[in-house]
Amino acid sequence: MVKSNKLFSDKKLVIYTDGGSRGNPGPSAIGVVVGDKEYSEYLGERTNNQAEYMAVVFALKKVKHLIGKAKAREAEIEVRMDSELIVKQLNGEYKIKEPELQPLFLEAWNLQLDFKKVEFKYIPREENKRADWLVNQALNSLG
CATH number at residue 130: 3.30.420.10
- Residue 72 in any domain: the answer is yes
- Residue 69 in any domain: the answer is yes
Cis-peptide into 27, omega within 30 deg: no
- Residue 132 in any domain: the answer is yes
Query: Residue 143: what pLDDT?
Result: 56
Query: Residue 20: what pLDDT?
Result: 97
CA distance 137 to 115: 30
Query: Residue 84: what pLDDT?
Result: 97
Q: Label the pairing between strands 76-81 and 37-46.
A: unpaired
Query: Domain range spanning residue 75?
Result: 12-140
- Please give the tally of structural domains in the chain: 1
Mean pLDDT of the chain: 93
- Residue 3 in any domain: the answer is no
Across the range 97-103, mean pLDDT stands at 96
The pLDDT tens digits for 109-130 are: 999 999 999 999 999 999 999 9
CA distance 13 to 118: 9
Phi, psi dihedrals of residue 11, rounded to the nearest 5°: 65, 10
- Residue 7 in any domain: the answer is no
Phi-psi region of 101 (alpha: psi -120 to 50; beta: other; left: phi over 0): alpha
Query: Residue 6: what pLDDT?
Result: 53
The pLDDT tens digits for 3-62 are: 344 555 557 999 999 999 999 999 999 999 999 999 999 999 999 999 999 999 999 999
Query: What percentage of the chain has pLDDT greater than the value 90?
Result: 90
Beginning with the edge strand found earlier in the chain, give each strand of the sheet holding 12-21 in spatial order.
37-46, 26-34, 12-21, 76-81, 117-122
- Residue 123 in any domain: the answer is yes
Across the range 73-88, mean pLDDT stands at 97
- Residue 6 in any domain: the answer is no
- Residue 19 in any domain: the answer is yes
